[in-house]
Amino acid sequence: MSDHLSEKSARLTQSEIRNMTIECTKQNGINLAQGVCDLPLQDQVKQGAHEAIDRGINSYTRYDGRYELREAICQKAQQYNKIDCDPEKNIVVSAGATGAFFITCLSLLNPGDEMILFEPYYGYHLNTLLTLDLKPRFATLTPPDWQFDIEELEKLCTPKTRAIMINTPANPCGKVFTREELKQLAAFSIKHDLIVYTDEIYEYFLYDGREHISPASLEEIKDRTITISGFSKTYSITGWRIGYCICDEKWTTSIGHINDLIYVCAPAPLQLGVANGLKQLPQSFYQSIREDYQSIRDEFCSILEQNGMIPYIPQGAYYVLTDVSKVPGKSSKEKAMTILNTTGIASVPGNAFYINGDGENLVRFCFAKEKAVLEQAYENLQKLQIH
Ligand code: PLP
């Protein structure tokens, strides 16, 4: 029997994040490579799911998700994101933000169409495009503030460019796009008639008083924007696979049909757990995300500095891209391995976020970890002995 893989499958290499996780497990190390949030589950979310199972909610849901969840997402979208929406017209619940991005690309774009991604990028965005035979075009975000250059974006556009992806707050660099920047991107997307994809999975992880602005709240682009988000990060439920997209009703039915084909539905009782969380968790829960993570960010970045590394202080999300020029190694992979071998701490080599050999002096650490794990990491980092 032939053991050949499909071309697409062969093209998908093992992600560096997973590679580093494997290396880390071999050494029984501390995994700051993976963006898995280890924090406890909120009772309201847990109880909502328990009750749903007790009530026998075990069947397929409608292709766009349970009404209770769509309604709760709508309320939150109106209040927090300032997005106008209707639970029956504008929402498709899917298998996480990852599933939502996949089905919206498959529904709206054709092979050969181009999407602009900002670099450093999130690997799943790139791999989703490649798997669907879509073409990424890369626009640079320049540190330390990760600014983009509208002239560069203009030059990237070809007659095949159909979409742009805005990830705010961004993984891996932590950029939070400002209203002025989004207005500029809105004008650009109108000029070139682009669909605006936005990934807002870190929408509550914001530091130094920053505001999360959803591109779909800008009147001029609300009809062309697909807002993608989910609850993996906010509620620390990465394994539940609950996410969604919000978009104009001209698109939701087709997106829902593709969702039905690929995932059928997101897990039914878990949809109700999330709906309960959305209804019952107080505003103080979301406020404490900002405060708690900001204080971890500050401590984490200062420990990195004390140990000879230079963190690019993130504006949001829970990763730190860090300049590790002084760490021995010829590439970001070698540098990440030096850090792992000396301290037992796994990070992601910076070149995993760049297409053409950049990022070799960078690694990414994830700081969404329990206090005890972080304290052990702080102690271990001293073994690096770089000053
Ligand atoms: N989008 C971004 C930017 C992420 O960093 C991640 C997880 O790391 C996801 C989406 C995954 O979200 P989900 O678990 O809802 O698929």
d(CA 47, CA 272): 9
3 state DSSP class of 379: helix
Q: 24 C-alpha to center of ligand 1: Å?
A: 21
243 lines ligand 1 (CB under 6 A): yes
- Indicate whether residue 105 lines ligand 1 (CB < 6 A): no
User: Quick check: CB of 199 below 6 Å from ligand 1?
Assistant: yes
Pocket of ligand 1, candidates 34, 122, 202, 231: which has the most ligand atoms within 8 Å of its Cβ, to mutate? Answer: 122
Q: Give the pLDDT of residue 327.
A: 95
Give CA–CA dist 187/192, Å, rounded: 9
* Calpha distance 126→134 (Å, rounded): 9
The response to whether residue 171 sits with its C-beta less than 6 Å from ligand 1 reads yes
Q: Are 66 and 46 within 8 A, CB to CB?
A: no
73 CB neighbour count, 10 Å cutoff: 28
Q: How far is the CA of 4 from the centre of ligand 1 (A)?
A: 30
Residue type, 134: L
Answer whether 230 contacts ligand 1 (Cβ < 6 A).
yes
Return the residue whose CA atom lies nearest to atom 3 of ligand 1: 171
* Ramachandran category for residue 209: left, alpha or beta (phi over 0 → left; psi -120 to 50 → alpha): left
Long-range contacts at 323-327 (CB < 8 A, ≥ 24 apart)? 323/361, 323/362, 324/361, 324/362, 324/363, 325/361, 326/386, 327/384, 327/386
- 15 Cβ closer than 6 Å to some ligand 1 atom: no
Peptide bond before residue 172 is cis, with ω within 30 degrees of 0: yes
pLDDT score of 85 = 96
Pick the closest to residue 17 from 325, 357, 362, 350 (CA basis): 350
Helices marked H in the chain — which ranges? Answer: 7-11, 16-26, 43-54, 67-76, 96-108, 123-131, 150-156, 179-191, 249-262, 268-280, 283-306, 332-343, 371-381
Which residues, 6 or more positions from 17, have their beta carbon under 8 angstroms from its beta carbon?
33, 34, 35, 123, 348, 352
Residue of 171, 175, 228, 241 to mutate, ligand 1, most atoms within 8 A of C-beta: 171
Those residues with Cβ within 8 angstroms of residue 329's Cβ, 6 or more apart along the chain or in another chain:
335, 336, 337, 338
Q: Which of 280, 204, 268 is nearest to 236 (CA)?
A: 204
Residue 95 near ligand 1, beta carbon < 6 Å: no
Determine the residue of 104, 204, 233 to mutate for testing ligand 1's pocket, defined as the one with the most ligand atoms within 8 A of the Cβ atom. Answer: 233
Atom of ligand 1 nearest to the CA of 170: 3
Q: What is the DSSP letter of 221?
A: G
**DSSP assignment of 196-217:** EEEE-TTTT-B-TT-----GGG
Closest CA to 216 of 192, 194, 196: 196
Q: How far apart, in Å, are the Cα atoms of 379 and each of 25, 121, 323, 369?
A: 19, 30, 20, 15
Centroid of ligand 1 to alpha carbon of 167 (angstroms) = 10
Q: How many helices (H) and strands (E) does the chain have?
A: 13, 13
Say what the pLDDT of residue 11 is.
73
Q: Is the CB of 167 under 6 A from ligand 1?
A: yes
* Site to substitute for ligand 1 among 129, 232, 263, most atoms within 8 A of C-beta: 232
Q: What is the pTM of this model?
A: 0.96
pLDDT confidence of residue 249 = 97
Query: What pLDDT score does 17 carry?
Result: 82
What's the CA gap between 316 and 86, in Å, rounded?
29
Average pLDDT per consecutive 10 residues, the chain (387 residues; last block may be shorter): 78 78 91 79 96 96 97 98 97 98 98 98 95 97 96 97 98 98 98 98 98 98 98 95 98 97 97 98 96 97 96 98 96 96 96 92 95 94 86
SS3 123: helix
